[in-house]
Amino acid sequence: MAEKNNRKYDKRLIFPVGKQRDFLIKSRQALGISWPEIAKIAKVHNRTIRDWRREKYSIQYRVAKRIECLSKVSLPKEVEIKDPFWYSAKGSDLGWRVVLERYGHVGGDPEYRKKKWREWWEKEGKYNPSCIVAAKVIKKPKFSKKLAEFVGIVMEDGGLTKSQLHVSCNSRDDREYAFFVKNLIENLFDAPVSICYLKYALVMELVVSRKMLVEFCNQKLGLYVGNKLKQGLDVPLWVKQNVNFQKACIRGLFDTDGCLFYERHRIKGKVYSYQRLNFASASPQLRESVHLFLRQLGFSSKIRNNRCVQVEDKREIKRYFDVIGTHNPKHLRRFMEEYR
């Protein structure tokens, strides 16, 4: 059984911070191919390659060795090879120690606890409006440009569970922007935002634990609880009906899952480079809506590879930053480097 699991789940490589990204970029440059072609070599989805570049997840050992073999770019010496689920033993060890320290024992009779809880709830809990299980009140703002931008942010890099709102950001490249998002959420809803850092990935998670906020986002704003792609992720109707809300929503979408990059082509030994403004989404409905918004605003945007929406004219990219703008310092710095 153990041998079967080892074949199914590959070992992982733990790079020093920044080294995994550097290894992938150097390998792609050495091979002279695109990121989608790298994904084909690795036999993974394009988004997985992007998450590896962001160092959101550790790369598989067999994939890294295949890329190393083809590109001739050596893996860093400081890389650690970890077995599948190497972290589970450490996590479980810490878990039982915390439980033991807090409660004085590990385990217990869950049925007895449920019975006593039901007795308490029926007797007094459900009659107590200040009870700790009561939903905490939030501010419910009216439709606005700030609220539309928040919707764009959550649609791409966020999500809703039954009791929480969460937004993920790269803790290195998007750290400044993450604090902008944190302040935006707190100002809109008057609810505290917690920040969680993933120890073995460059990810900072913004979390709001408010059931009332989830209900407001779902019922009033039109955001989905659970798997948003399976439910047909698209821009809510109230945003579509107002051009200023459209601009703000586009800004939120591009600031989280958009990028400025150079598309390069080699023709007869000469390299041609073109700047692109790109927004990628796995939702066809969302891509179509963003494409339509940009067209209505006078941009000659295009849908590429049934995966992303691009603005490809240099003058229109400049106009995008004039008309729609950005709140992500990373995008602004890259734009200023080109147009200063």
pLDDT by residue for the chain (340 residues), tens only, comes to 444 444 466 788 889 999 989 999 998 999 899 989 988 888 889 899 899 889 888 888 888 888 888 889 898 888 888 887 766 766 676 776 777 777 666 666 677 888 888 888 888 877 776 666 667 889 999 999 999 999 999 998 899 999 999 999 988 889 999 999 999 999 999 999 999 988 778 889 999 999 999 999 999 999 999 999 899 999 999 999 999 999 999 999 999 988 887 777 777 777 777 778 888 888 999 999 999 999 999 999 889 888 889 888 888 889 999 999 999 998 888 888 776 6
Its pTM stands at 0.62
The type of residue at 137 is: V
Residues 6+ apart with CB under 8 A from 129: none
User: Same domain for 288 and 303?
Assistant: yes
Q: Determine the pLDDT at residue 154.
A: 95
Q: Determine the pLDDT at residue 87.
A: 67
Maximum Cα–Cα distance across the chain: 82
111 lies in which domain range?
Answer: 87-127
What is the DSSP secondary-structure string of 307-339? TEEEE--HHHHHHHHHHT--S-HHHHHHHHHHH
User: Same domain for 115 and 62?
Assistant: no
> What is the total count of domains within the chain?
3
Q: Determine the pLDDT at residue 314.
A: 85
User: Same domain for 40 and 114?
Assistant: no
Of the residues 127, 155, 190, which one is the last residue of a structural domain? Answer: 127
User: Same domain for 18 and 54?
Assistant: yes
User: What would the 3-class secondary structure string for 141-200 be?
Assistant: CCCCHHHHHHHHHHHHHEEECCCEEEEEEECCCCHHHHHHHHHHHHHHHCCCCEEEECCC
Residue 51, domain member (yes or no): yes
User: Same domain for 25 and 92?
Assistant: no
Residue 164, domain member (yes or no): no
User: Same domain for 257 and 335?
Assistant: yes
Residues 6+ apart with CB under 8 A from 286: 155, 233, 234, 235, 253
Q: Determine the pLDDT at residue 86.
A: 67
Residue 138, domain member (yes or no): no
What is the DSSP secondary-structure string of 86-121? HHHHHHHHHHHHHHHHHHSSS---HHHHHHHHHHHH
Q: Determine the pLDDT at residue 340.
A: 60
Considering only CA atoms, which of 272, 263, 250, 253 is closest in space to residue 305? 263
Instruction: Tell me the backbone φ, ψ of residue 215, rounded to 5 degrees.
Output: -65, -40
Cα separation, 129 vs 173, whole angstroms = 43
Q: Which two tokens stand for residue 69?
A: 């073999």
Residue 158, domain member (yes or no): no
Three-class DSSP category at 260: strand
Residue 202, domain member (yes or no): no
Residue 285, domain member (yes or no): yes
User: Same domain for 277 and 291?
Assistant: yes
CATH number of the domain at 49, please.
1.10.260.40
Please, what sign has the CA dihedral across residues 43, 46, 52, 58? negative
The type of residue at 306 is: N
170: left (phi over 0), alpha (psi -120 to 50) or beta: beta
User: Same domain for 279 and 316?
Assistant: yes
User: Same domain for 68 and 102?
Assistant: no
User: Same domain for 50 and 104?
Assistant: no
Contact (Cβ atoms closer than 8 angstroms) between residue 273 and residue 262 = yes
**Which one-letter DSSP state was computed for residue 125?**
G
Residue 247, domain member (yes or no): no
State in Å, rounded, how far the first CA of the chain is from the last one. Answer: 61
Q: Determine the pLDDT at residue 104.
A: 66
User: Same domain for 310 and 265?
Assistant: yes
Of the residues 59, 84, 109, which one is the last residue of a structural domain? Answer: 84
Contact (Cβ atoms closer than 8 angstroms) between residue 260 and residue 270 = no
User: Same domain for 260 and 324?
Assistant: yes
CATH number of the domain at 256, please.
3.10.28.10
Contact (Cβ atoms closer than 8 angstroms) between residue 304 and residue 231 = no
Q: HSE (CB half, 13 Å, CA atoms) of 161?
A: 8
Residue 272, domain member (yes or no): yes
Of the residues 127, 151, 184, which one is the last residue of a structural domain? Answer: 127
Q: Tell me the residue ranges of DSSP E strands in 210-334.
A: 258-267, 270-280, 302-304, 308-311
Q: Determine the pLDDT at residue 182.
A: 95
Contact (Cβ atoms closer than 8 angstroms) between residue 20 and residue 75 = no
